[in-house]
Amino acid sequence: MAVTDAAIDKIKQMILSGELAPGSRLPKEADLAERLGLSRNSLREAVRALALINVLDVRQGDGTYVTSLEPGLLLDAMSFVVDFHQDDTVLQFFQVRRILEPAATAMAATRMDEAGVAELRGILDSLPGDPSVEQLVANDLRFHRRIAEGSGNPVLCSLIESLSGPTTRARIWRGLTQGGSLDRTREQHAAICEAIASRQPEVARAWATVHVAGVEEWLRGVLA
Counting DSSP H helices and E strands in the chain, the numbers are 12, 2
Neighbours of 121 (CB within 10 A): 15
Calculate mean pLDDT across residues 160-176.
70
Per-residue pLDDT band at 176 (split at 50, 70, 90) = low
For 189-205, write each residue's pLDDT tens digit: 999 999 999 999 999 99
183/49 Cα distance (integer angstroms)? 46
For 205-215, write each residue's pLDDT tens digit: 999 999 988 88
- Does the model's pTM come out above 0.75? no
159/96 Cα distance (integer angstroms)? 10
pLDDT of residue 202: 98
